[in-house]
Chains A and B, each alone.
Chain A
Amino acid sequence: MLPGNMAQQGTLFDTAALLASEPRPAREHSLIEWSYSRRELFERCLMWYYFNYYGAKAGTAKNEPRKQELRFLKSLSNRHLRAGEIMHLVIRTYLKQLKDGQEWTLDRLLRWARDIYNADLRYSVSYQQGRGTTDPRSRSKLLSEFYFNLPNAKLLWEESAARLVKALTNFVARPELERFRRGAVHPQSLIEETLRLREDHFSLKGQIDYAYPEGERIIVIDWKLGASGGGEDSLQLLSYALVAMKHFACPSEALDLFKVHLEDGSVFPYTVRDEEIRRARARIIQDSQRMQAVDHYGRNGVASAFTPCRQSRVCNMCPFQQFCAKE
Chain B
Amino acid sequence: MIETNIRIVEPGVNLRLHARCAEVVTQDLSHDLLQRACGNLQKRYGLAAVVARDKSSILVATSGPVPKMVVQADDWRLEVKDSGTTRELCFAELDEAQLLAQLLERCLLAQLESGTKLWTLDSFRNWYVPQPFECASGIAAHRRFEVSSIAIEGVGVGLVVDVGTAFFTEQTVADFFRDDVLAEEKTRLQRRFERLSERQHGQKGTLVYDFGRDKHKCYFDSFANGLTVATVNGLRIQGQTYASLQEYYKRKHGVDVDGDAPVAKVSFPGINRPQPVIASALRLRVMNNALPDALKQADKIDPQSRRDYLEMFWTRLGDAPFGRGLPMVAKGFWCPSRDRAIHIEPPGLVFAGGQVVAAPANGHIGEHRAYYKERHSLLNDAGCLKVPPAITRVLHVAVPRGADENVAMQLAEQVTARLSKWTRKEITPELMMYSTLDEALTRLRRQPPGMVLFIFDDDEPATYFTLAYELKDWRIKRITLATLQRLTLQFQFARNANDPRSVSLISVPRGWDAFIEMNALDVLQHLDCVPWSLASRPHYEAQLVIDVGADRRYFALSLLICRPQSSDPFRLETIVPIKSDHKQETINHVILCDEIVKLCQRMVRSGLDPIKSMLILRDGHECGREMNAVVEAQQKLISIGFLASVAQVHTVDFHKTSAKGIRLWERIRDCEVRHALEGTALLLDKGTVVLVNTGAATLRQGTAEPLMLVARGDGIDMIAVASDVHAFCHLNWSSPRVAQRLPLALKRTDDELKNRAAQEIGRIK
A305 contacts across to B, CB distance below 8 A: 588, 590-591
A141 vs B660: C-alpha distance when bound (angstroms): 54
The answer to whether A11 has its CB under 8 Å from any CB of chain B is yes
* Least distance between A257 CB and chain B CB atoms (Å): 13
A13-B572 contact in complex given A7-B577, A18-B390, A231-B222, C-beta closer than 8 Å? yes
The answer to whether B371 has its CB under 8 Å from any CB of chain A is no
Q: Closest B-chain residue to A308, C-beta based? A: B581
Residue from B390, B553, B554, B764 in contact with A280 in the complex, judged by beta carbons closer than 8 Å: B764
A4 contacts across to B, CB distance below 8 A: 472
A90 contacts across to B, CB distance below 8 A: none
B528 contacts across to A, CB distance below 8 A: 13-15, 18
Q: Closest B-chain residue to A233, C-beta based? A: B764
A42 vs B580: C-alpha distance when bound (angstroms): 8
Is the Cβ of A9 less than 8 Å from the Cβ of B468? Answer: yes
Residue from B466, B574, B752 in contact with A282 in the complex, judged by beta carbons closer than 8 Å: B466
The answer to whether B178 has its CB under 8 Å from any CB of chain A is no
Residue from B222, B578, B586 in contact with A289 in the complex, judged by beta carbons closer than 8 Å: B578
Is the Cβ of A46 less than 8 Å from the Cβ of B572? Answer: no
The answer to whether A315 has its CB under 8 Å from any CB of chain B is no
Is the Cβ of A309 less than 8 Å from the Cβ of B583? Answer: yes
Is the Cβ of A283 less than 8 Å from the Cβ of B752? Answer: no
Query: Could you show 19 A-B contacts with beta carbons less than 8 Å apart?
Result: A6-B554, A11-B752, A12-B526, A13-B528, A13-B574, A16-B571, A18-B388, A46-B580, A46-B581, A201-B469, A231-B265, A279-B461, A282-B466, A283-B764, A285-B465, A286-B761, A304-B589, A306-B581, A310-B584
The answer to whether A290 has its CB under 8 Å from any CB of chain B is yes
Is the Cβ of A232 less than 8 Å from the Cβ of B765? Answer: yes
A103 vs B755: C-alpha distance when bound (angstroms): 56
The answer to whether A30 has its CB under 8 Å from any CB of chain B is no
Q: Closest B-chain residue to A293, C-beta based? A: B578
A88 vs B554: C-alpha distance when bound (angstroms): 37
Chain B interface secondary structure, helix, strand, loop or mixed? mixed
The answer to whether B760 has its CB under 8 Å from any CB of chain A is yes
A35 vs B418: C-alpha distance when bound (angstroms): 49
* Least distance between B576 CB and chain A CB atoms (Å): 6
* Least distance between A1 CB and chain B CB atoms (Å): 9
Stretch from B54-62, B344-352, B601-609, B645-653 that touches the partner: B601-609
Q: Closest B-chain residue to A235, C-beta based? A: B764
Question: Residues of B at under 8 Å CB distance from A?
Answer: 221-222, 265, 267, 272-274, 388, 390, 460-463, 465-466, 468-469, 472-475, 525-526, 528, 553-554, 571-578, 580-581, 583-584, 586, 588-591, 602-603, 605-606, 748, 751-752, 755-756, 760-761, 763-765
Q: Closest A-chain residue to B464, C-beta based? A: A282
A6-B573 contact in complex given A289-B578, A290-B578, C-beta closer than 8 Å? no
A46 contacts across to B, CB distance below 8 A: 580-581
* Least distance between B589 CB and chain A CB atoms (Å): 8
The answer to whether A110 has its CB under 8 Å from any CB of chain B is no
B274 contacts across to A, CB distance below 8 A: 229-231
Interface residues on chain A, number (Cβ under 8 Å): 53
Interface centre among A12, A281, A310 (most CB of B within 10 A): A12
Is the Cβ of B525 less than 8 Å from the Cβ of A12? Answer: yes
A282-B465 contact in complex given A19-B606, A229-B274, C-beta closer than 8 Å? yes
Q: Closest A-chain residue to B578, C-beta based? A: A293
Is the Cβ of B606 less than 8 Å from the Cβ of A11? Answer: no
* Least distance between B223 CB and chain A CB atoms (Å): 9
Is the Cβ of B590 less than 8 Å from the Cβ of A6? Answer: no
Residue from B265, B267, B574, B586 in contact with A14 in the complex, judged by beta carbons closer than 8 Å: B574
B465 contacts across to A, CB distance below 8 A: 282, 285-286
* Least distance between B405 CB and chain A CB atoms (Å): 27
* Least distance between B604 CB and chain A CB atoms (Å): 9
The answer to whether A311 has its CB under 8 Å from any CB of chain B is yes
Residue from A11, A285, A302 in contact with B590 in the complex, judged by beta carbons closer than 8 Å: A302
| Complex interface bits, A44-75 against B, C-beta within 8 A gives 1, otherwise 0 | 00100000000000000000000000000000
Is the Cβ of A5 less than 8 Å from the Cβ of B577? Answer: yes
Is the Cβ of A10 less than 8 Å from the Cβ of B472? Answer: yes
Chain A interface secondary structure, helix, strand, loop or mixed? helix
Is the Cβ of A293 less than 8 Å from the Cβ of B577? Answer: yes
The answer to whether A238 has its CB under 8 Å from any CB of chain B is yes
Is the Cβ of A7 less than 8 Å from the Cβ of B221? Answer: no
Is the Cβ of B580 less than 8 Å from the Cβ of A20? Answer: no
Is the Cβ of A233 less than 8 Å from the Cβ of B580? Answer: no
Question: Residues of A at under 8 Å CB distance from B?
Answer: 4-20, 22, 42-43, 46, 201, 229-235, 238, 275, 278-283, 285-286, 289-290, 293-294, 297, 302, 304-307, 309-311, 313
* Least distance between A266 CB and chain B CB atoms (Å): 12
Is the Cβ of B525 less than 8 Å from the Cβ of A13? Answer: yes
* Least distance between B277 CB and chain A CB atoms (Å): 14
* Least distance between B4 CB and chain A CB atoms (Å): 36
A302 vs B108: C-alpha distance when bound (angstroms): 49
* Least distance between B611 CB and chain A CB atoms (Å): 15
* Least distance between A300 CB and chain B CB atoms (Å): 11
A297 vs B760: C-alpha distance when bound (angstroms): 24
Q: Closest B-chain residue to A284, C-beta based? A: B761
A281 contacts across to B, CB distance below 8 A: 462
B764 contacts across to A, CB distance below 8 A: 232-235, 238, 279-280, 283
* Least distance between A295 CB and chain B CB atoms (Å): 11
* Least distance between B124 CB and chain A CB atoms (Å): 23
Q: Closest A-chain residue to B751, C-beta based? A: A12
Is the Cβ of B390 less than 8 Å from the Cβ of A9? Answer: no
Is the Cβ of B273 less than 8 Å from the Cβ of A230? Answer: yes
Is the Cβ of B526 less than 8 Å from the Cβ of A13? Answer: yes
A273 vs B388: C-alpha distance when bound (angstroms): 45
A87 vs B472: C-alpha distance when bound (angstroms): 44
Is the Cβ of B525 less than 8 Å from the Cβ of A285? Answer: no
A46 vs B587: C-alpha distance when bound (angstroms): 13
Is the Cβ of A231 less than 8 Å from the Cβ of B577? Answer: no
* Least distance between A144 CB and chain B CB atoms (Å): 18
Other contacts beyond A9-B472, A282-B466, A282-B761: 11, CB < 8 A:
A5-B578, A12-B751, A13-B525, A13-B574, A18-B390, A275-B460, A279-B461, A279-B761, A279-B764, A285-B465, A285-B469
A13 vs B606: C-alpha distance when bound (angstroms): 17
Q: Closest A-chain residue to B599, C-beta based? A: A16
Q: Closest A-chain residue to B220, C-beta based? A: A231
B606 contacts across to A, CB distance below 8 A: 16, 19-20
A92 vs B573: C-alpha distance when bound (angstroms): 55
Is the Cβ of A11 less than 8 Å from the Cβ of B462? Answer: no
A11-B469 contact in complex given A297-B590, A307-B588, C-beta closer than 8 Å? no
Is the Cβ of A14 less than 8 Å from the Cβ of B462? Answer: no
* Least distance between A5 CB and chain B CB atoms (Å): 6
Is the Cβ of A11 less than 8 Å from the Cβ of B581? Answer: no
Interface centre among A15, A18, A201, A285 (most CB of B within 10 A): A15
A43 vs B590: C-alpha distance when bound (angstroms): 19
Q: Closest B-chain residue to A22, C-beta based? A: B602
* Least distance between A39 CB and chain B CB atoms (Å): 9
Q: Closest B-chain residue to A8, C-beta based? A: B472
Is the Cβ of A10 less than 8 Å from the Cβ of B388? Answer: no
A15 vs B389: C-alpha distance when bound (angstroms): 12
A304 vs B580: C-alpha distance when bound (angstroms): 13
Interface centre among B388, B591, B751 (most CB of A within 10 A): B591
Residue from A15, A232, A235, A283 in contact with B573 in the complex, judged by beta carbons closer than 8 Å: A15
Is the Cβ of B605 less than 8 Å from the Cβ of A20? Answer: yes
* Least distance between B607 CB and chain A CB atoms (Å): 8
B578 contacts across to A, CB distance below 8 A: 5-7, 289-290, 293
Interface centre among B466, B583, B584, B756 (most CB of A within 10 A): B583
Q: Which 10 A-B pairs have the closest CB atoms?
A: A231-B222, A307-B581, A19-B606, A20-B606, A283-B761, A293-B578, A305-B590, A233-B764, A231-B221, A20-B605
Q: Closest A-chain residue to B466, C-beta based? A: A282
Is the Cβ of B576 less than 8 Å from the Cβ of A7? Answer: yes
Is the Cβ of B554 less than 8 Å from the Cβ of A15? Answer: no
Residue from B576, B584, B586 in contact with A6 in the complex, judged by beta carbons closer than 8 Å: B576
Is the Cβ of B462 less than 8 Å from the Cβ of A20? Answer: no
A304 vs B592: C-alpha distance when bound (angstroms): 12
B469 contacts across to A, CB distance below 8 A: 9, 201, 282, 285
